A and B are shown apart, each in its own frame.
Chain A
Amino acid sequence: MLFIENLTKRFDAAFDRPLFERVSLTLAAGESVAIMGESGVGKSTLLNCIAGLESVDGGCIRLCETDLTTLDEDGFARLRRRDFGFVFQAFHLLPHLTLAQNVALPLWLLDRDDRTADARARVMLERVGLAPRADDWPRHLSGGEMQRVAIARALVHEPALVLCDEPTGNLDPGRAAGVLELLFERIQAAGAVAILVTHSVVAAGHADRILHLTQGGLIAAPVVA
């Protein structure tokens, strides 16, 4: 489903030193992978490159037979809108939208009508256990609750690929475990491919595979429970 081959990213086009190079990865439908590595090695940049938010300096990315490296900016935007879901460390809930509206946001971008989007968002909120608070504001939520809303938002439009950047980085271990369980359960239920970037061995343990990103590429690592 997702096929990455010899992906290379340099610090700067004029500055020849690579951030990472020859990164290759293949993921089948419903499969998840955790990418770990030292700070500054380029884990988040790799996610951004896959999402088309940063350019690459070599290599190829294919999602469902689409060569992402041939897409222009608008093409990537359309693809992200339809096929990508994101979970960020900082949640990025819009403070002026209710929880239901935050979850409905990807559907709005896909031009779904308000009623359909709202109904679908409420279903997703129910799945993450926040249905009673659908009309509440983000400022009234705890960090864990915010991340559950973000998970609902990432999956509401049934994306093919979910990219998670330190999704539990702002949460205490107890809450982090609950969020991770929910995240992977929902991803599995949706049959999506998931890439998780994390420093947390515990978080990485929820994925099917764990890989270490180094300057020379991705290296397989044993799964640590």
Chain B
Amino acid sequence: MNATLRHVFLASLWRRRLATSLSLLAIALGVALGLAVQLIHAAALDEFGRGIRLLNGAADLQVLGSRAGFSDELYARLAQRPEVDQASPLLEIETRLPARDEPLRILGIDLFRIGAVTPSLLPVSANPDEAAPAAGDRLDALQSDALFLSPAASARLGLKTGDRLRVQVGTRERTLRIAGTVPAAGVGQALAVMDIAAAQQTFERIGQLTRVDLRLAPGVTRALAQARLAALLPPGVAVLTPDDAASEVLGLSRAYRVNLTMLAAIALLTGGFLVFSTQLLAVVRRRQEFAFLRALGLDRDSLWHGLLAEGAVLGLIGGLLGCLLAYLLAALAFAVIGGDLGAGFFRGIAPQVRVEPVLTLIYLALGVFAGLAGAWLPAREAARMVPARGLRAGDEAEVYRARPRWGMALGALLLAALICLLPSIAGVPVFGYLAVLLILAGAILSLPGATVAAMAMLRPGRSTLWRLARTRLAAAPGQTVVAGAGVVASVALAVSMAIMVDSFRGSVDDWLTRMLPADLYLRASDATASGYLDPESVARVAALPGVAAVRPVRFETLRLGETGGAIALIARQVDAGGGLPLVAGTLQPPTGPDQPYPAWISEAMADHLRLGVGDPLSLPLGARSHPFRVAGIWRDYARQQGSVVIEIADYRALTGDTRTNDLGLTLTDGTAPEPVMTAIRATLGEQLSEMILPGTLRAMILGVFDRTFLVTYLMEAVAVLIGLFGIGTTFAALATSRRKEFGILRHLGLRRRQIGLLLATEAALSAAVGVVIGLLAGGAIALVLIEVVNRQSFHWSMDLQLPVGLLLIFSLSLILLAALAARLSGAQAMRQDAVLAVREDW
């Protein structure tokens, strides 16, 4: 078998080099995309995990509050508990750096406590006047302006020991001195540390902490300590294990990672379909050869294994190429769009691509699997052939005589509809993805029946070519399956993604209209960073000429529910401007002294906490819990972890916090924004605030949206490209396999040009059936993506929008391309002499 395998089977791959190359390319692209996504995520998660371990150190438990923090009296109480051996307080601040784009994460630490729990955060002082750093000097570290940078932060900011760094607090500037480094932070973590008292003083957070790391006394279990300590905590403060805290961020990015992985898998699946098409056509062309080999004594199993070996070799070589390409793509992605593929989950880390042997082997195996899966049916078809029939010329048509599979197709679609009703597993919409696969399977299974039905509906016509094409497809619907499987898969994917992305973008656009009703926006810093506007600043801005009204917004975080998960709090005027993009409830809830405060929760929060309109809700504000009632549920595309909107008047009354993050300005009629912007800069300082026009902000947000979907677009393009390869190679191979038939038609008087037209007509009809099925399947998959996958992954709803024009152009282009590919390949096939073509039939 070895020599037979080499000379008969594997050599055939070399003989049909074009088809082999395209199959290899298809598998390579599918493997490359999938592995690249995994490599990027593995590197990012690895670096993120390293950062978490670095920041958590040897902590057994962490007491976490909101961004506003909690009183440091709690630290004193915790440190005295018998369950606690060591306690280390921290104040974590995202500080805005004037005239710089990225904020800096500063950790205020207790230098005398940190060594026992998180020694990797210990700073090392350096004397700037000496070439080599001196030994650590804790007294220097206690200075109120001393800041220590990690190597990554130092490189990013371009600062060294002795340099000065300006930080923003509210709308004022403070200057800190770079007093040394945090060497154990490594090159991937951009952060800084300073003494906790200095941090509290610098950032006006006297008496506040955001975290306390705990090491438990010997013999005390985490569960026991967690239960006992939780009882001591004020509302809005949670005690979590370090793993729970880390999984909050990982959980947010997981859905995005899984979605990209699934898209890559569909690209690989399309590659598998291309292998199927090329292998099946090769089997048709080599039918007599196989029959003859069977006559010579090649047994059924050897033939089956030989053909599977062809598929496996295709998958192996394609997989190897794909793995190489994946590492290149991953390196390119890190350089161009960052370690989170543009989604913004892992800020402040700088991961590097590393060789991942297990992942690489898994994707190599997936490449081989795609090759084997694509070769499976053709190999079975060849092995099932009766040799005595195969030896006769003209037996090729047998392969194309596919039976309609309506029952199986409908069964697959019905099952898909049913499993869509099932919930996600650990936040991953497993059944949604299975439904996508079932819809694809149902679509492909329906191809033979749909072809027969479509041909029956078409008028016979008077043109000979039309009649020949129509009768050929009606009698051999399997031809459409061969040509159309890849078309259906790629069209369905492209169409579903186009509908989903269009619906999403349209919904985001509508959301932005409602969320950005003002004429001009002013902010002291990013919502998470240290800048804010105090009431005086707000009043000065409101008093500027041309400003008709100001609408302040305050952003905070809250910890809610049994798990203490962090959600975003937005305090603003609710029933003003654009209101909120509600999906349920009202903007005008009943008011009165007996009524609880109204709150409008996002869809994600409603899903996480299983809340509906009218449900009571307790929000920890100002160290106390306050009764609220859910007045409405709204769409929030910005905060996947969940968010709640309350009236800013209620927020201020309950917390006493009068700071403002964002200020929406309504200008008086006829006032241009530019003079107002100039006046604000003059009032607040040149570099201490950011102003943006709603149009610019909208364009920026949609730009971020498009960047997030860049990888999606790329994968979609690859899948369509693979599908187009499929059309080209399929019709080229079909034309070659039917040379004898065309030779006979030439003998009967058809011209070469007419043969080309016949092929083009058949191709256009096959592609049209494939495209229509693909459009229907794509529409169904889009519904699953919107209603199941997105809802379960991101908790986002959106309004369905059909990009009709785009789909129409795409469909017609594919049909025309198929006709063109067939016409060109027909011309190639007809170069052979008609007499030679039919010689074996004499």
Contact = CB atoms under 8 A, between A and B. Distances in A.
A78 B8 contact: no
A79 B297 CA distance: 7
A108 B7 contact: yes
B727 to A, nearest CB: 26
A97 B388 CA distance: 23
Interface stretch (A80-88, A128-136, A187-195, A215-223): A80-88
B15 interface: yes
B19 to A, nearest CB: 14
Interface string A52-91: 0110000000000000000001100111111010101010
Contacts of A101: 7
A81 to B, nearest CB: 3
A94 B8 contact: yes
A86 B293 CA distance: 11
A5 B15 CA distance: 46
A114 B3 contact: yes
B295 A86 contact: yes
B112 interface: no
Contacts of A77: 294, 297-300
A54 B388 contact: yes
B748 interface: no
Contact of B7 (A73, A97, A106, A169): A97
A78 B297 contact: yes
Contacts of A127: none
Given A88-B292, A108-B3, A96 B15 contact: yes
Nearest to A77: B299
Dominant SS among interface residues on chain B: helix
A72 B277 CA distance: 32
A117 B3 CA distance: 10
Range for the number of chain A residues in contact with chain B? 20 to 34
Contacts of B297: 77-82, 84, 106, 109
A105 interface: yes
B243 to A, nearest CB: 57
A165 to B, nearest CB: 9
A209 to B, nearest CB: 24
A90 B393 contact: yes
A82 to B, nearest CB: 7
B426 interface: no
Interface in A21-55: 45, 48, 51, 53-54
Nearest to B295: A86
A6 interface: no
Interface residues of B, number: 29
A12 interface: no
A53 B393 contact: no
A81 B297 CA distance: 4
A169 B841 CA distance: 11
A111 interface: yes
B288 interface: yes
A46 B296 CA distance: 17
Contact of B300 (A45, A73, A170): A73
Contacts of A84: 296-297
B289 A53 contact: no
Contacts of B386: 53-54
A92 B3 contact: no
A92 B292 contact: yes
A88 B388 contact: no
Contacts of B292: 86, 88, 92, 94
Given A51-B295, A97-B7, A109-B4, A74 B289 contact: no
Interface string B279-319: 00000000011001111111111000000000000000000
B564 interface: no
Contact of B388 (A48, A96, A109, A117): A48
A81 B295 contact: no
A138 to B, nearest CB: 12
Given A82-B297, A84-B296, A109-B296, 12 more contacts: A53-B294, A73-B299, A74-B299, A77-B298, A77-B300, A81-B296, A81-B298, A88-B391, A90-B840, A96-B11, A101-B7, A170-B839
Interface of A: 45, 48, 51, 53-54, 73-74, 77-82, 84, 86, 88, 90, 92, 94, 96-97, 101, 104-106, 108-109, 111, 113-114, 117, 169-170
6 contacts: A77-B294, A78-B299, A86-B292, A86-B296, A109-B1, A111-B2
The 3 closest A-B pairs by CB, nearest first: A81-B297, A77-B299, A80-B297
